[in-house]
Structure 1
Amino acid sequence: MDVDAVRTFVAAAEAGRFQETAAELAITQQAVSKRIAALERNLGVRLFTRTPRGAELTIDGQALLPHARELLRVAERALASVRPERRPLRVDVIASRLATSGLLRDFHRAHPEAELDVLKLFDVETAVAAIRSGAIDASFRAVAMPDRPLPPDVAAVRVLDEPLQLLTGPAHALAAARSVTLAQLAGHRIWMPGIVPGTEWAAYYDALAAEFGLTIEATGPNFGSDALLDTVADTPALATFLGERTRLVWPAGHGLRRIPVTGPTPVYPHSLLWRRDNPHPALATLRAHLAATTADQDVPGSWVPAWVLPR
């Protein structure tokens, strides 16, 4: 059923004259007549009777009127549900404990009026596909990966360089160090079971290991951060990397140490991705917030892979 024809029918029923209906809808009187005639053909009944006083509803028209009004209300709700300004901004943060989640929480504190849907997608290809399809509005990612340029309709801006830290147990050889250089890490086993081939973080750590001769292992099943922390705490030969802003909590008895890495400092480059033609007003607000709050957070003496999106 043509919604415009239904809207014209309701307006004509309330006005009682096609001329007044035409003025209200900003169309011609002929267009009003055509819409009403098309609706009558579609339904197979007459809806109006012409009288000297104007247009009066027939019995069928009177029966249709309350349903037509409800149909227009449903149509308006349907349109409102997909209007950018009327739905939450959908943002992928990868995981709840990462710096990206913290960036979005900071945005929410600064702009509590902006409704958010927070999602956790796995890899950059999944995120980019969701951005292009409109399933999400934005994603925090490390881009661009080697040989995988972003599609032309997807924009990106680097918003945060997060220094890496070394996490060790109390018995590790470097546990007492106030900081460690990348050169000092050569020969030590760095265990990161969450690395999955083909992801942007796998590309990042592959580049880091190749550049500085590090041994980064992704062996064994990934049982999550709690199991990783337990193993590092109990195994003097293993350490792991984590971001400076990664929020992890462990029992006090674990005695874990977070040690800054220098010479140079490897930083994980978080970027925001979005579709260029996305009109959601909260997306523009998020981008402006990130630009204002992360602009002066460059890390001096830092390292990123050559393929990373420039600042």
Structure 2
Amino acid sequence: MDLDAVRTFVAAADAGQFQEAAAELAVTQQAVSKRIAMLERTLGVRLFTRTARGAELTIDGQAFLPHARELLRVAERAVASVRTGRRPLRVDVIASRVAASGLMRGFHRAHPDVELDVLMLFDIEGAVAAIRSGAIDASFRAVGVPGRPLPEDIASARVLDEPLQLLTGPAHALAGARSVTLAQLVGHRIWMPGLVPGTEWTAYYDDLVAEFGLTIEATGPNFGSDALLDTIADTPALATFMGEQTRLVWPVGHGLRRIPVTDPTPVYPHSLIWRRDNPHPALTTLRDYLGSAQPGHPGGDTWKPAWARR
């Protein structure tokens, strides 16, 4: 069904005259007559009868009018759902407790007028595909892994270098330390069951292990952060790495310790990636916020993989 014809029908019904409907729609009266005639042929009924006072709805026209109004409302909602600036900004934060989620919460507090859809996608390939297809507008990722350059139509900007911390239980040998060096961690078992081959965070930790001789174990099923905290609290032989801005809550009895790592401090590089030709105005607002409102780069002696330093 031609929506222009439906729109013309509603305008004529409201005005009661084809001439006034033509003026409202900025078309000729002849165009109004043709659109109404075409709609009548489509429906197989008469919608108007001509009178000395103008045009009056037939019984069929009266029956069709509320449905015609609803057709136009549905069409308007459909267009608004994809119109730039009218739909929510869709951003992937990977997981709910990590730094990227905190950055987006800060953005929402600073710009409560911007509608947001926050998603959680697992791997960078899926995130890039979603950005290129328009399913999402942006994603937080560590970019630059050797052998996996971003496509030419994807842009990126570093937004946060997040220091890593060591998380231990109360009985761990390093639990009482105010800070630990990477050299002191050699020989200690660092358990990280969430490391999945082929992911960007696994590439990061592979380089960390290779450069500093650490022992990171990714054995066993990943039951999530709560199960990880339970195990670290109960097992003196195990510790794990956590980002400084990762939000964790555990029972008081766990007695877990978050210990800064130094000499150098390993930092995880968070970048925002987006499609270069994405016109959503809120994307620019988000990029400006991330560029100005976040500390981004800790001072002191830090380490990140060579691919993240470029």
The residue correspondences of 1:1-311 to structure 2 (distance < 5 A) are 1-50=1-50, 53-294=53-294, 297-308=297-308, 310=310
Q: How far is the alpha carbon of 1:3 from its aligned partner?
A: 1.0
Q: How many residues are treated as equivalent by the alignment? A: 310
Q: How far is the alpha carbon of 1:52 from its aligned partner?
A: 5.5
**Native 8 Å contact 1:189 1:238 kept in 2:** yes
Alpha-carbon distance change, 68 to 267 in structure 1, aligned in 2, over 3 angstroms:
same
2: CA distance, partners of 1:194 / 1:227: 11
Q: Please identify, of 122-131 and 274-283, the stretch whose mean Cα deviation from structure 2 is larger.
A: 274-283
Counterpart of 2:228, as a letter, is L
Q: How far is the alpha carbon of 1:195 from its aligned partner?
A: 0.6
2: CA distance, partners of 1:27 / 1:298: 63
2: CA distance, partners of 1:296 / 1:162: 8
Identity %: 81
Q: How far is the alpha carbon of 1:293 from its aligned partner?
A: 0.9
**Native 8 Å contact 2:161 2:296 kept in 1:** no
Q: Please identify, of 31-40 and 96-105, the stretch whose mean Cα deviation from structure 2 is larger.
A: 31-40
2:246 aligned counterpart, secondary structure: coil
**Native 8 Å contact 1:158 1:309 kept in 2:** no
2: CA distance, partners of 1:123 / 1:187: 30
**Native 8 Å contact 1:180 1:259 kept in 2:** yes
Q: How far is the alpha carbon of 1:149 from its aligned partner?
A: 2.0
Q: How far is the alpha carbon of 1:253 from its aligned partner?
A: 3.3
**Native 8 Å contact 2:159 2:272 kept in 1:** yes
Counterpart of 1:61, as a letter, is G
1:164 aligned counterpart, secondary structure: strand
Counterpart of 1:7, as a letter, is R
Q: If the length of structure 2 is used for normalisation, what is the TM-score?
A: 0.89
Q: Please identify, of 226-235 and 43-52, the stretch whose mean Cα deviation from structure 2 is larger.
A: 43-52
Q: Cα deviation per residue 1:61-104 (whole Å; 9 max; x = unaligned)?
A: 33322321222122223333333444333322222211111111
Counterpart of 2:198, as a letter, is G
Counterpart of 1:202, as a letter, is T
1:95 aligned counterpart, secondary structure: coil
Alpha-carbon distance change, 200 to 265 in structure 1, aligned in 2, over 3 angstroms:
same
Q: Please identify, of 46-55 and 260-269, the stretch whose mean Cα deviation from structure 2 is larger.
A: 46-55
Counterpart of 2:197, as a letter, is P
Q: How far is the alpha carbon of 1:60 from its aligned partner?
A: 3.0
Alpha-carbon distance change, 254 to 22 in structure 1, aligned in 2, over 3 angstroms:
same
Q: How far is the alpha carbon of 1:269 from its aligned partner?
A: 0.8
Q: How far is the alpha carbon of 1:160 from its aligned partner?
A: 0.6
Counterpart of 2:270, as a letter, is H
2: CA distance, partners of 1:127 / 1:150: 11
Q: How far is the alpha carbon of 1:244 from its aligned partner?
A: 0.8
1:139 aligned counterpart, secondary structure: strand
Q: CA RMSD in A?
A: 2.3
In structure 2, the gaps of 5 or more residues are none
Q: Cα deviation per residue 1:234-266 (whole Å; 9 max; x = unaligned)?
A: 333222111111111223333322221122211
2: CA distance, partners of 1:123 / 1:170: 34
Counterpart of 2:272, as a letter, is L
Q: How far is the alpha carbon of 1:309 from its aligned partner?
A: 7.0
2: CA distance, partners of 1:52 / 1:246: 75
Alpha-carbon distance change, 32 to 120 in structure 1, aligned in 2, over 3 angstroms:
same
Q: Cα deviation per residue 1:142-177 (whole Å; 9 max; x = unaligned)?
A: 113322222333322111110011122333333333
**Native 8 Å contact 2:159 2:296 kept in 1:** no
2: CA distance, partners of 1:31 / 1:308: 62
2: CA distance, partners of 1:94 / 1:136: 13
Counterpart of 1:276, as a letter, is R
Q: Please identify, of 205-214 and 170-179, the stretch whose mean Cα deviation from structure 2 is larger.
A: 170-179
In structure 1, the gaps of 5 or more residues are none
Q: Please identify, of 199-208 and 68-77, the stretch whose mean Cα deviation from structure 2 is larger.
A: 68-77
